Amino acid sequence: MSNKFFNFYYDPVRQGYDTNTWSTLLGVPAIVSNKLQLVNAGAIHFADLLRGEAIFNVTMPEPANTHDMAFGFIEYNKNAWARFRINDENVIAEISNGGTDDFELCAWNSDWNDAPVEFKIKWEAGMVTFSIGGEMKWQTTDRINIEGDPMSLYVYNNTAAAVPMDVSYIIAKGVQSSTLKVF
């Protein structure tokens, strides 16, 4: 077994919204004020990642009724994920292996309203850890095994009131395996 790990940095200033590395799921993701802005838009990255840590620097308003946002790791057609989801007023750390789901409600700090905040998901063998603003919010147990299938980074905002979600950057660190499929 190799001890080689992969790291990469997505910077909207440097890379823009490149359709050679992102696939649009919904709407029109756009670069606005040097950030990837999602207003009724969503995208999935082409890189297949197996375990590692992803840090999403996200700016959004306080979660409220009609909010529908998500970001993290996903294997879209298998319906498997390790992600943060904002559903109405709830901030949820959740995992799914495509058949069984588990989640934890996370307390929102009003200091995060409309401010850039780091949301971190650390995906390891047998465990996923979720942190917001440097505070650990949930660490899974072996109740659900996120299998050894690669997942991709994704960002999504389909909030009815057209509330923007801005992504300043995404850092992927310590990725066990990474393959970028460029089309």
State the pLDDT confidence band at 18, using cuts at 50, 70 and 90: very high
Block residue for tokens 């905002």: 157
The amino acid that residue 46 corresponds to is F
Residue ranges per domain, the chain?
6-180
Give the position of tokens 């297949």. 48
For position 175, what pLDDT does the model report? 79
pLDDT tens sequence across 99-150: 888 899 999 999 999 999 999 999 988 889 999 999 999 998 766 667 678 9
Short-list 138, 45, 154, CA closest to 95:
138
pTM: 0.93
Nearest to 43 by CA among 162, 160, 167, 155: 155
Phi, psi torsion values for 90, nearest 5 degrees: -95, 135
Residue 87 contacts residue 67 (beta carbons within 8 Å): yes
CATH of domain 6-180: 2.60.120.200
Q: What are 67-96's pLDDT values in tens digits?
A: 999 999 999 999 999 999 999 999 999 999
- For the chain, the residue count is 183
Which pLDDT does position 145 carry in this prediction? 67
